């Protein structure tokens, strides 16, 4: 293992910790009523976004769901900007109009933040269709939960992307529950890659609790797509440790099940692997945690000091404003 | 139109010429929808364009309204200028999520970072005995949605030129093509362009304003002709743009005539005619000599049988009768 490899592995760890700690802060801010509305945290699933987004270039497109704090952060939206959005401030990445579920950033080609389950899939197909015409070398990655597979838009989008051989990766984050409905209670066929394969889309599964496995799998998929192979479907098997949203009493799954998945925490297990491999010791981990804490202290302070958009500007951005 | 010099053109030909010109003018423009290519468009609007522009840009889509409308949104975000054709407004309900929750919302929801320069064309309206699932006028559903611009061409000129303006708009535009107008003939279109903000007076008058759009304009003009024979001078105002409504033009006309009938093929309750009436009540209440009247479709799913369909739809006679009800007719 080279120094660069070690550096890269520590980067993966650091990115997962950034998400975990950011969302822990968000939960605190929710408890203190500084964040309101629906908020869905990604805790337990960090390995998927972190592993997947390593394979992209800044020119690629990302479409995500309402559980997208982690994707936004790893894609490069500053923690400050995300936190300000959570607090409804003008300095937020959607100027306070989106909130937790609608983080957007044109600079990093982060197209949201879509809170309609499966609503992002046709959009991703369209971004890939634009690439089909423009040949700018962009791949589109579309994240969605397994709940989206029950929607017609999943099937329509799969068909369209395969029919037109579009450069899009459909990345299904299977956390086993669509809100409170377990996969086996909502799908007659629970083999998700099989569904994608029926549209002639290359499809396979990966352990979503293993950040390096995700990274490897997504790299392979992106290479196939960039090589002109059309769309791919990847199922990342993962689990959310927290309830669906801050409103969810989490009555639909057993504590034993949650505890069993927590044993496979993507951060803890990666830390253990890094220690075994001699890539991480306590001081190194302490340094990473300290840097993350510093970043988040700054982000929260920035958000709290942010401004509220004047109400007179309520109707701005409904239509494109002329550039002065 | 292209080729032979015709003394008249159809509404359909004018639309096609608008499409052809838009495709030729900008390589980012492409047309996508069910049967737009080999079939030539379910109502024949895009016939011949496949040969001219090829299957990449005249793109047949599978029957998946939500996916291909959403793909239009995505392609627009990706730098293209898609024109998406939906066969009828009834079918567009399958894509309502993408139009309302995505296309119309993205700019505001993203704090002005993303724009969706997408044009959606769809057929609307009854009059061809196509029954309840191909005949409705749901324009007001779209006119209700902030973030959209909604166009309703009634003339050959607007059929020819509205598309160019819609494509120049950086935000999503929905264009309604009334099925009964496709075969209508008229003078060849003018040299364009046309604006996408203003209502137009199609016939000047002084006793009553008939406000209409799409096929309703034809009905209002026929009614105005009958009324003229009775010595009543009716002004016909073509709304053209259903969102945003041209309130200034509506109020200016009513302030001149002091009476108004709104002709709207949509259902009467909670519809466009209701909105126009409210707007007049708010802005020209003291100029009115009579309550605003509405001539709308009967509140039933559109029936198939000819006599029932005729009875359900606004007709010139119903408009004439509504005008007489304002105290203007023979007593």
Asked if B303 contacts B135 with a C-beta cutoff of 8 angstroms, the reply is no
Q: Which of B27, B63, B71, B144 to mutate to probe the A interface, most A CBs <10 Å? A: B71
Nearest CA in chain A to B74: A126
Q: Going from the N-terminus, what domains does chain A have, and what CATH number goes with each?
A: 3-313 (3.40.50.970)
B89: number of Cβ within 10 Å: 23
> Is residue A94 less than 8 Å (CB to CB) from chain B?
yes
Among B203, B230, B206, B205, CA closest to B219? B203
> Is residue B147 less than 8 Å (CB to CB) from chain A?
yes
The minimal CB distance from A98 to the residues B67, B98, B109 is found for B109
The minimal CB distance from A111 to the residues B77, B107, B112 is found for B77
The minimal CB distance from B97 to the residues A106, A119, A320 is found for A119
Contact assignment for A123 to B110 by CB distance below 8 Å: no
Tokens of A87: 């607090």
Show me where the domains of chain B are located.
9-186, 200-328
Measured CA distances, A147 to A37, A116, A179 (Å)? 21, 11, 8
pLDDT-based confidence at residue A117 (cuts at 50, 70, 90): very high
pLDDT in tens, A80-97: 999 999 999 999 999 999
The SS3 call for residue B175 is strand
Contact assignment for B79 to A134 by CB distance below 8 Å: yes
Contact assignment for B147 to A319 by CB distance below 8 Å: yes
Beta bridge partners of B241: B151
Tokens of B266: 């949509």
CATH topology of domain B9-186: Rossmann fold (3.40.50)
CA distance A283 to A294: 16
Mean pLDDT of A196-208: 98
Architecture in CATH for domain B200-328: 3-Layer(aba) Sandwich (3.40)
CA distance B232 to B203: 13
> Is residue B73 less than 8 Å (CB to CB) from chain A?
yes
> Is residue B30 less than 8 Å (CB to CB) from chain A?
yes
Query: How close A246 comes to chain B (CA, Å)?
Result: 22
> Is residue A97 less than 8 Å (CB to CB) from chain B?
yes
Tokens of B109: 């929801």
Contacting residues of A for B66, CB less than 8 Å apart: 122, 152-153, 156
Placement of tokens 């400050």 in the chain? A80
Complex ipTM tops 0.90 = yes
Contacting residues of B for A199, CB less than 8 Å apart: none
> Is residue A11 less than 8 Å (CB to CB) from chain B?
no
Query: How close A103 comes to chain B (CA, Å)?
Result: 7
Residues 6+ apart with CB under 8 A from B247: B279, B283
Q: Catalytic residue numbers of B?
A: 65, 134
pLDDT of residue B331: 42
The answer, yes or no, to whether residue A295 has pLDDT greater than 80, is yes
pLDDT of residue A322: 78
- Asked if domains B9-186 and B200-328 share a fold, the reply is yes
Contacting residues of B for A125, CB less than 8 Å apart: 67, 70-71, 74
Nearest CA in chain A to B113: A106
Nearest CA in chain A to B29: A133
CA distance A11 to B326: 77
Contact assignment for B73 to A122 by CB distance below 8 Å: yes
> Mind listing the pLDDT tens digit of every residue in chain B (331 residues)?
455 566 999 999 999 999 999 999 999 999 999 999 999 999 999 999 999 999 999 999 999 999 999 999 999 999 999 999 999 999 999 999 999 999 999 999 999 999 999 999 999 999 999 999 999 999 999 999 999 999 999 999 999 999 999 999 999 999 999 999 999 999 999 999 999 999 999 999 999 999 999 999 999 999 999 999 999 999 999 999 999 999 999 999 999 999 999 999 999 999 999 999 999 999 999 999 999 999 999 999 999 999 999 999 999 999 999 999 998 755 4
CB pairs under 8 A between A and B: 150
Mean pLDDT of A176-193: 95
pLDDT of residue B1: 47
């Amino acid at each position: 293992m080279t120094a660069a490899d070690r550096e890269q592995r520590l980067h993966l760890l650091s990115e997962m910790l950034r998400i975990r700690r950011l969302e822990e802060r968000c939960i605190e801010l929710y408890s203190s009523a500084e964040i309101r509305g629906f908020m869905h945290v990604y805790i337990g699933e960090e390995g998927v976004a972190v592993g997947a987004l390593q394979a992209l270039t800044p020119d690629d497109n990302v479409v995500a769901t309402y559980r997208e704090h982690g994707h936004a952060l790893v894609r490069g939206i500053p923690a400050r900007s995300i936190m300000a959005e959570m607090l409804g401030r003008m300095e937020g990445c959607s100027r306070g109009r989106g909130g937790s579920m609608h983080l957007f950033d044109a600079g990093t080609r982060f197209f949201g933040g879509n809170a309609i389950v499966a609503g992002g899939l046709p959009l991703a197909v369209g971004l890939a269709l634009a690439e089909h015409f423009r040949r700018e070398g962009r791949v589109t990655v579309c994240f969605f939960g397994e709940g989206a597979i029950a929607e017609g838009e999943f099937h329509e989008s799969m068909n369209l992307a395969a029919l037109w051989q579009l450069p899009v990766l459909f990345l299904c984050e299977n956390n086993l529950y669509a809100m409170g409905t377990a996969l086996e209670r909502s799908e007659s066929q629970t083999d998700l890659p099989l569904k994608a394969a029926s549209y002639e889309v290359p499809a396979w599964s990966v352990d979503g609790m293993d950040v390096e496995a995700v990274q490897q799998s997504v790299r392979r998929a992106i290479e196939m797509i960039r090589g002109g192979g059309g769309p791919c479907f990847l199922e990342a098997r993962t689990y959310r440790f927290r309830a669906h949203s801050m409103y969810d009493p989490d009555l639909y799954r057993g504590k034993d099940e949650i505890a069993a998945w927590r044993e496979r925490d993507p951060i803890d297990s990666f830390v253990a692997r890094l220690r075994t491999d001699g890539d991480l010791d306590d001081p190194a981990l302490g340094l990473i945690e300290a840097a993350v804490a510093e970043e988040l202290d700054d982000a929260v302070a920035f958000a709290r000091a942010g401004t509220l958009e004047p109400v007179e500007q309520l109707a701005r951005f409904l239509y494109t404003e002329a550039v002065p | 139109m292209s080729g032979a010099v015709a003394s008249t053109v159809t509404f359909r030909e004018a639309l096609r010429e608008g499409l052809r010109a838009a495709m030729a003018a900008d390589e980012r423009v492409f047309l996508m929808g069910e049967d737009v290519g080999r079939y030539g468009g379910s109502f024949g609007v895009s016939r011949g364009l496949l040969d001219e522009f090829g299957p990449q840009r005249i793109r047949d889509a599978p029957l998946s309204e939500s996916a291909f409308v959403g793909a239009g949104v995505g392609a627009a975000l990706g730098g293209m200028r898609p024109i998406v054709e939906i066969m009828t407004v009834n079918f567009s309900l399958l894509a309502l999520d993408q139009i309302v929750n995505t296309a119309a919302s993205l700019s505001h929801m993203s704090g002005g970072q993303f724009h969706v320069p997408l044009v959606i064309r769809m057929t609307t309206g009854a009059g061809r005995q196509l029954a309840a699932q191909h005949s409705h006028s749901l324009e007001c559903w779209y006119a209700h949605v902030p973030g959209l611009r909604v166009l309703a061409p009634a003339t050959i000129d607007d059929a020819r030129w509205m598309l160019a303006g819609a494509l120049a708009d950086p935000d999503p535009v929905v264009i309604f093509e009334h099925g009964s107008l496709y075969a209508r003939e008229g003078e060849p279109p003018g040299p364009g362009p046309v604006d996408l903000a203003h209502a137009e007076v199609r016939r000047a008058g002084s006793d009553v304003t008939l406000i209409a759009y799409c096929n309703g304009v034809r009905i209002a003009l026929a009614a105005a002709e009958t009324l003229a024979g009775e010595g009543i001078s009716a002004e016909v105002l073509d709304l053209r743009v259903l969102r945003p409504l041209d309130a200034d033009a509506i109020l200016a006309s009513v302030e001149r005539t002091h009476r108004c009938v709104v002709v709207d093929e949509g259902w009467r309750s909670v519809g466009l005619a209701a909105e126009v009436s409210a707007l007049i009540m708010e802005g020209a209440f003291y100029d009115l000599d009579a309550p605003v009247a509405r001539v709308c479709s009967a509140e039933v799913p559109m029936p198939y049988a000819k006599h029932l369909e005729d009875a359900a739809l606004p007709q010139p006679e119903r408009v004439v009768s509504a005008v007489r009800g304002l105290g203007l007719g023979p007593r």
